[in-house]
Amino acid sequence: MASRIEGLLCDLSNEELRQSPAAKFNSLAWLLWHMARCEDVAVNTVIRNTAEVLDGDNWPGQLSVSTRHIGTGDTYAEMVALGRNIDIEALRAYRAAVGRETQAWAQTVDFATLNGFITVEDAHRAALRGAFGPHAQWVESLWADGKRTHAWILVWLAGGHNHSHIGEGYVIRGLLGHSVR
């Protein structure tokens, strides 16, 4: 995953990462935030019931952000504001730290754990920690619908979800005038 993200971001300036190529398009900075937050919340809060990576190493301060939510449902203005204010180098480092934490845990996980279903309490714990913004409360219900296993969280949110947004990112990269790597 890390090499795909680095390929997406290479040769782009911090200002280009902040840009939305057209009205209503996400910026690459917002996508990177969204991918990192979804994975951090889903793996660490929902499955593991541990502290999120965001809660260590003064990440909010390093990132220059006051929000914790995953970004789902953000308005265009909210997306632009996050991209304008976030520290890009810290964002790259935070995304990488989330990926390393997920990989380290996945190498040691008891696979029986992954067969467990996400409970209402698991999803609500994420809500209580500020994971869902004002337009994303539906995510809590989706995650707690009784049909989703911990394996789904790991495979979808740490894998497929990120890959789909990387694909979106390559479209944005092209709209910014850069070739696909």
- 92-143 confidence digits (pLDDT tens): 999 999 999 999 999 999 989 999 999 999 999 999 999 999 999 999 999 9
DSSP single-letter state for residue 23: T
Which residue type, as a one-letter code, is found at position 131?
A
Instruction: Give the CATH superfamily of 2-175.
Output: dinb family like domain (1.20.120.450)
CA dihedral over 155, 8, 98, 73, signed as positive or negative: negative
Which one, of 180, 165, 179, 171, lies nearest residue 31 by Cα? 165
Domain boundaries, the chain: 2-175
Which one, of 173, 154, 65, 167, lies nearest residue 54 by Cα? 65
* 41-63 per-position pLDDT tens digit: 999 999 999 999 999 999 999 99
* Mean of the per-residue pLDDT values of the chain: 95
Rounded distance, CA 163 to CA 141, Å? 23
